[in-house]
Amino acid sequence: MAAAVLLVGIAGAALAGIVLARTQPSSARSQRSAAALRVASTVERAGQGVLDLLTAERAAVTAVPAPSPAAFAGWSVRLGAFARLPGLVELSETVLDRSAGAAGSCRRPLVVTRTTAELPPPGLDACTGLLGLAARAAATSGRAAFGLLRIAGRTRLEVELPFYRGARLPATPAARRRDLLGWVGAGLTPQATLRRALAGQPAAGAVLADRADPLVGSFAAGRAPPAGTTVAIALGDGWRLEVAEPAPPATVLGSPAALTVLLGGIAASLLVALLVFALATARAEAREAARRHTDELHHLALVDDATGLPRRALVMDRVAQLLVRTRRSLTSPALFLVDLGRLDQVAAELGTTSADELLQTVAGRLSAAVREGDTVGHLGGGELVVVAECSLADEGADAILGRIRATLSRPLDLPGQPRPVRLRARIGMAVGDRALPEQLLHDADLALSQAKATAAGSIGFVRRPDDLGGAGRRQLGEELANALAQSELFLVYTPVVDLQRTRLVGLDARPRWRHPAGGIVAEDALRAHLDATAMTGPVGAWVLREACAQAARWAALGHPLDVAVDLSHHQLDDDLVDTVAAALSRSGLARRHLLLDLPESALLEAPNATSALLRRLRSLGVRIALDQFGTGYTSLAYLRQFTFDLLKIDATVVAGAARSEEAAALLRRLVHLGRRLDLPMLATGLDADEARVVALEEGVELGQGRCFGEPFEAAAFPEALRHLLDPDSGRPGPAVAGPHR
- What pLDDT, on a 0 to 100 scale, did the predictor assign at position 695? 92
Please write the tens of the pLDDT for every residue from 270-282. 666 566 666 667 6
**Single-letter code of the amino acid located at 591:** R
Asked if the model's pLDDT at residue 373 lies above 70, the reply is: yes
430 three-class SS? strand
Quote the CA–CA distance of 591 and 470 in Å, as a whole number: 40
Q: How far apart are the first and last CA of the chain?
A: 114
Question: Are β-strands 503-515 and 489-498 bridged in parallel, bridged antiparallel, or unpaired?
Answer: antiparallel
Q: Is-contact 145 160, C-beta < 8 A?
A: yes
- What pLDDT, on a 0 to 100 scale, did the predictor assign at position 572? 85
Q: Pick from 1-10, 244-253, 654-663, 721-730 the range whose average pLDDT is largest.
A: 654-663
Asked if the model's pLDDT at residue 468 lies above 50, the reply is: no
Q: Is-contact 343 332, C-beta < 8 A?
A: no
Q: Is-contact 616 652, C-beta < 8 A?
A: no
- What pLDDT, on a 0 to 100 scale, did the predictor assign at position 551? 96
Sorting pLDDT into bands at 50, 70 and 90, what band is 307? confident
703 three-class SS? strand
The residue with greater pLDDT, 570 or 656, is 570
- What pLDDT, on a 0 to 100 scale, did the predictor assign at position 453? 57
Asked if the model's pLDDT at residue 725 lies above 80, the reply is: no
Nearest Cα neighbor of 623 from 463, 522, 496 is: 496
The residue with greater pLDDT, 685 or 496, is 496
The residue with greater pLDDT, 129 or 629, is 629
- What pLDDT, on a 0 to 100 scale, did the predictor assign at position 371? 87
Q: Is-contact 597 627, C-beta < 8 A?
A: yes
The phi, psi pair for 373, rounded to 5°, reads 105, -20
Please write the tens of the pLDDT for every residue from 90-111. 888 888 777 766 566 777 767 8
Asked if the model's pLDDT at residue 636 lies above 80, the reply is: no
Query: Could you tell me the pTM of the whole model?
Result: 0.43
Comparing 116-130, 252-266, 400-414, 540-554, the range with the smallest average pLDDT is 252-266
- What pLDDT, on a 0 to 100 scale, did the predictor assign at position 211? 58
Please count the CA atoms within 13 angstroms of the CA of 328 that sit on its side-chain side.
4
- What pLDDT, on a 0 to 100 scale, did the predictor assign at position 587? 95
Rg over alpha carbons for the chain, rounded to the nearest Å, is: 32
Share of residues in the chain with pLDDT > 90 (%) = 16
Asked if the model's pLDDT at residue 590 lies above 60, the reply is: yes
Share of residues in the chain with pLDDT > 70 (%) = 70
The residue with greater pLDDT, 273 or 177, is 177
Nearest Cα neighbor of 694 from 686, 66, 328, 98 is: 686
544 three-class SS? helix
Asked if the model's pLDDT at residue 291 lies above 80, the reply is: no
Q: Sign (positive/negative) of CA torsion 208, 213, 214, 217?
A: negative
- What pLDDT, on a 0 to 100 scale, did the predictor assign at position 540? 92
Asked if the model's pLDDT at residue 115 lies above 80, the reply is: no
Q: Pick from 15-29, 235-249, 489-503, 544-558 the range whose average pLDDT is largest.
A: 544-558
Q: Pick from 59-68, 208-217, 501-510 the range whose average pLDDT is largest.
A: 501-510
b/e per residue, 206-243, with b = 16+ CB within 10 A? bbbbbeebeebeebbbbebeeebbebebeeeeebbbbb
What would the mean pLDDT of 647-665 be, rounded to a whole number? 78
Q: Sign (positive/negative) of CA torsion 498, 499, 501, 503?
A: positive
Q: What share of the chain is helix, strand, coil (3-state, %, to 5)?
A: 50, 25, 30
The residue with greater pLDDT, 381 or 492, is 492
Instruction: State CA 421 to chain mean position distance.
Output: 22
Please write the tens of the pLDDT for every residue from 489-540. 999 999 999 998 888 899 999 998 887 765 676 666 677 677 767 788 899 9
What would the mean pLDDT of 54-68 be, rounded to a whole number? 76
DSSP, res 132: H
- What pLDDT, on a 0 to 100 scale, did the predictor assign at position 557? 92
Q: What is the mean pLDDT of the chain?
A: 76
234 three-class SS? strand
Please count the CA atoms within 13 angstroms of the CA of 286 that sit on its side-chain side.
22
Nearest Cα neighbor of 43 from 228, 238, 187, 239 is: 239
Asked if the model's pLDDT at residue 568 lies above 80, the reply is: yes
Sorting pLDDT into bands at 50, 70 and 90, what band is 194? confident
What would the mean pLDDT of 443-452 be, rounded to a whole number? 73
Sorting pLDDT into bands at 50, 70 and 90, what band is 304? confident
Question: Are β-strands 503-515 and 562-566 bridged in parallel, bridged antiparallel, or unpaired?
Answer: parallel
Q: Is-contact 405 424, C-beta < 8 A?
A: no
Sorting pLDDT into bands at 50, 70 and 90, what band is 460? very low
Residue-wise DSSP of 630-686: TSS---HHHHHHS--SEEEE-HHHHHHHTT-HHHHHHHHHHHHHHHHTT--EEE---
Asked if the model's pLDDT at residue 353 lies above 50, the reply is: yes
Question: Are β-strands 681-683 and 702-704 bridged in parallel, bridged antiparallel, or unpaired?
Answer: parallel
Q: What is the 3-state secondary structure (H, E, C) of 347-413?
A: HHHHCCCCHHHHHHHHHHHHHHHCCCCCEEEEEECCEEEEEEEEECCCCHHHHHHHHHHHHHHCCEC
Please write the tens of the pLDDT for every residue from 598-626. 877 666 666 788 888 999 999 999 999 99
The residue with greater pLDDT, 485 or 21, is 485
Sorting pLDDT into bands at 50, 70 and 90, what band is 289? low
Q: Find the angle CA(535)-CA(539)-CA(544) to the nearest 5 degrees.
A: 150
Residue 352: CB atoms within 10 Å = 10
Please write the tens of the pLDDT for every residue from 227-258. 667 777 776 666 777 777 776 555 555 556 65
Q: Find the angle CA(446)-CA(366)-CA(449) to the nearest 5 degrees.
A: 15
Quote the CA–CA distance of 84 and 86 in Å, as a whole number: 6
Question: Are β-strands 218-222 and 205-210 bridged in parallel, bridged antiparallel, or unpaired?
Answer: antiparallel
The residue with greater pLDDT, 6 or 59, is 59
Question: Are β-strands 623-629 and 594-599 bridged in parallel, bridged antiparallel, or unpaired?
Answer: parallel
Nearest Cα neighbor of 90 from 156, 179, 134 is: 156
Q: Show Cβ contacts of residue 165 under 8 Å, excluding neighbours closer than 6 positions.
A: 179, 181
Nearest Cα neighbor of 241 from 32, 48, 39 is: 39
* Long-range contacts of 45-50, Cβ-Cβ distance < 8 Å, separation of 24 or more: 45/380, 45/381, 46/85, 46/87, 46/193, 46/196, 46/197, 47/235, 47/239, 48/379, 48/380, 48/381, 49/84, 49/85, 49/381, 50/85, 50/88, 50/159, 50/186, 50/188
Asked if the model's pLDDT at residue 631 lies above 80, the reply is: no
